[in-house]
């Protein structure tokens, strides 16, 4: 990437530098396609997962409504990332669409039965269904092939946000039966600000960004050659090493979970341990505000995440935990520890060494009352 950053060449230019950059982009497209079980022509490079999700949800919804004005309903799970929730809420508030949120189990999973219930007796008004492959907060994995088997009965377009998946799971676009799938480089060890929408040739979208038409008729804008090469390399290397990485990180995560339970006996482990990304450990620490705990741990050199969003400076409960049936107060006391391919036993031990005191101090600070404005998707 650093070599490419120093070399000129727009991959859409016809001169030698441009053709050299184009070759790098197309070789990267082949690598990304190979790693994801797709064809190179199905890979549309974007500036990350958020953009790919917006193209999928808005682009497919608009295209479907153009073809059949009755198709104005969108289905998505209630635990999607904001890069899915917010475009849908915008389509509902500003563009005449309606939404049916698909309910999840207490461990955050979408079942084929729940999808059928949300589709209802007459799903002929559905424009697009979007269900994530793996949840970014609690790591729950959905059986996407079982879900697309349901929508295939009605010929409904299915998009999956697979941003969290390829680092830890084998992803085969062709076998999943989806029309479109989102991936992001920085979740597979690549750079920020680059990703892809994998989109089957039979699926058409109305573009969001008009211009030079660099990525078929789906997306315009000069491509970031260095970022794309970084993305493809990370995915390629990560896929080859995945079996070893998964085994090592799963053992570390299980150790982390056991040790947290030993030092903080009232900590609640959220989600399912089986159907879950191996790098994810997610807890509720009763009586603590997740944000306080995060800052106390950060001061000790442990960087972790809360699921909650911040609204006007007040931490809001995680919409994922609420959808899984948690009460608002518990949903604000959550913390996610994510391991990466470079995590070690020393990292886990460093967390366990500082966690009891951080929890003690966060409990003393207490949890302010949840404001009445806290909404599920705010
Ligand atoms: N979808 C999921 C499930 C994510 O976890 C993320 C990022 O964390 C995104 C979408 C957004 O991707 P990006 O950061 O590449 O815009």
State pLDDT tens for residues 116-167.
999 999 999 999 999 999 999 999 999 999 999 999 999 999 999 999 999 9
My answer on whether 254 and 357 are in the same domain is yes
My answer on whether 216 and 353 are in the same domain is no
CB within 6 Å of ligand 1 — which residues? Answer: 48-50, 53, 81, 83, 132, 136, 161, 163-164, 184, 186, 195
CATH number of the structural domain spanning residue 62? 3.40.640.10
Residue 328 has pLDDT above 90, yes or no: no
Q: Which residue among 184, 234, 336 has the greatest number of ligand 1 atoms within 8 angstroms of its CB, and so is best to mutate?
A: 184
pLDDT in tens, 171-182: 999 999 999 999
pLDDT in tens, 338-347: 999 999 999 9
State the average pLDDT over residues 37-49.
98
Tell me if 58 is assigned to some domain.
yes
Concerning whether 310 is annotated as a catalytic residue, the answer is yes
Residue 377 has pLDDT above 60, yes or no: no
Query: Which pLDDT band, with edges at 50, 70 and 90, does 308 fall under?
Result: low
pLDDT of 367 reads: 74
DSSP-assigned letters across all residues of 61-90: HHHHHHH-TT--EEEEETT--HHHHHHHHH
Burial of 259 (0-12, 13-18, 19+ CB in 10 A): middle
pLDDT of 332 reads: 86
Q: Which of 203, 288, 304, 310 is catalytic?
A: 310
pLDDT in tens, 44-85: 999 999 999 999 999 999 999 999 999 999 999 999 999 999
Mean of the per-residue pLDDT values for the chain?
Answer: 94
Last residue of a domain, one of 219, 236, 253: 236
pLDDT of 369 reads: 64
**Cβ contact 122:340 at 8 Å:** no
Instruction: Compute CA distances 25 → 21, 138, 232, 293, whole Å.
Output: 6, 34, 9, 43
Query: Which pLDDT band, with edges at 50, 70 and 90, does 312 fall under?
Result: low
Task: Quote the CA–CA distance of 277 and 348 in Å, as a whole number.
Answer: 17
Main-chain dihedrals φ then ψ at residue 78, nearest 5 degrees? -75, 0
Q: Which residue among 51, 57, 88, 136 has the greatest number of ligand 1 atoms within 8 angstroms of its CB, and so is best to mutate?
A: 136
Tell me if 189 is assigned to some domain.
yes
Tell me if 375 is assigned to some domain.
no
My answer on whether 271 and 352 are in the same domain is yes
My answer on whether 18 and 41 are in the same domain is yes
My answer on whether 93 and 51 are in the same domain is yes
Range of the domain at 256: 244-365
My answer on whether 211 and 301 are in the same domain is no
My answer on whether 131 and 68 are in the same domain is yes
Residue 312 CA to ligand 1 center (angstroms) comes to: 23
pLDDT of 329 reads: 85
Nearest CA residue ID for atom 8, ligand 1: 136
Tell me if 370 is assigned to some domain.
no
pLDDT in tens, 333-371: 899 999 999 999 999 999 999 999 999 999 998 876 655
pLDDT of 376 reads: 41
pLDDT in tens, 231-244: 999 999 999 999 99
Residue 372 has pLDDT above 50, yes or no: no
* Assessment of whether the complete model's pTM goes beyond 0.85: yes
Residues linked to residue 98 through DSSP beta bridges, in sequence order: 73
Residue 18 has pLDDT above 70, yes or no: yes
pLDDT of 230 reads: 98
Which residues are within 8 A (CB) of 144 and not within 5 positions of it... i.e. 6 or more apart?
Answer: 131, 133, 160, 176, 177, 178
Nearest CA residue ID for atom 12, ligand 1: 49
Residue 195 has pLDDT above 90, yes or no: yes
Token pair recorded at residue 180: 């479109």
Tell me if 198 is assigned to some domain.
yes
pLDDT of 71 reads: 98
């Amino acid at each position: 990437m650093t070599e490419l950053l120093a070399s000129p060449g727009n991959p859409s230019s016809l001169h030698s530098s441009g053709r050299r950059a184009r070759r790098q982009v197309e070789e990267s497209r082949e690598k990304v396609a190979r790693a994801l079980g797709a064809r190179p022509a199905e890979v549309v490079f974007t500036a990350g997962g958020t953009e790919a999700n917006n193209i999928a949800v808005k682009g497919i919804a608009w295209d479907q409504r153009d073809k059949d004005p009755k198709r104005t309903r969108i289905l998505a799970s209630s635990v999607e990332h904001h890069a899915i929730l917010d475009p849908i809420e915008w389509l509902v508030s500003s563009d005449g669409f309606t939404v049916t949120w698909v309910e999840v189990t207490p461990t955050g999973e979408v079942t084929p039965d729940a999808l059928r219930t949300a589709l209802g007796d007459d799903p002929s008004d559905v424009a697009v269904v979007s269900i994530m492959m793996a949840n970014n907060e609690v790591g729950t994995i959905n059986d996407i092939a079982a879900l697309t088997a349901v929508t295939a009965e009605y010929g409904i377009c299915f998009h999956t946000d697979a941003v969290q998946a390829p680092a830890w799971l084998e992803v085969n676009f062709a076998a999943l039966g989806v029309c479109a799938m989102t991936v992001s480089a920085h979740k597979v060890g690549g750079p920020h600000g680059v990703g892809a929408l994998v989109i089957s040739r039979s699926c058409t979208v109305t573009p969001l960004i008009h211009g030079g038409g660099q990525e078929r008729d789906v997306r315009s804008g000069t491509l970031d050659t260095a970022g794309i090469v970084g993305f493809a390399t990370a995915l390629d290397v990560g896929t080859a090493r995945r079996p070893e990485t998964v085994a090592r990180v799963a053992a570390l995560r299980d150790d982390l979970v056991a040790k947290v339970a030993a030092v903080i006996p009232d900590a609640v482990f959220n989600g399912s341990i089986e159907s879950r990304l191996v790098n994810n450990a997610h807890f509720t620490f009763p009586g603590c505000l997740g944000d306080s705990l995060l800052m106390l741990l950060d001061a000790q050199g442990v960087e972790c995440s809360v699921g909650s969003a911040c609204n006007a400076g007040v931490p809001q409960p995680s919409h994922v935990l609420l959808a899984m049936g948690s009460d608002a107060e518990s949903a604000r006391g959550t913390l996610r520890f994510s391991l990466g391919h470079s995590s070690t036993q020393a990292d886990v031990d460093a967390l366990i060494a500082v966690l009891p005191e951080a929890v003690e101090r966060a409990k003393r600070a207490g949890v302010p009352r949840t404001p009445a404005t806290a909404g599920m998707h705010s």
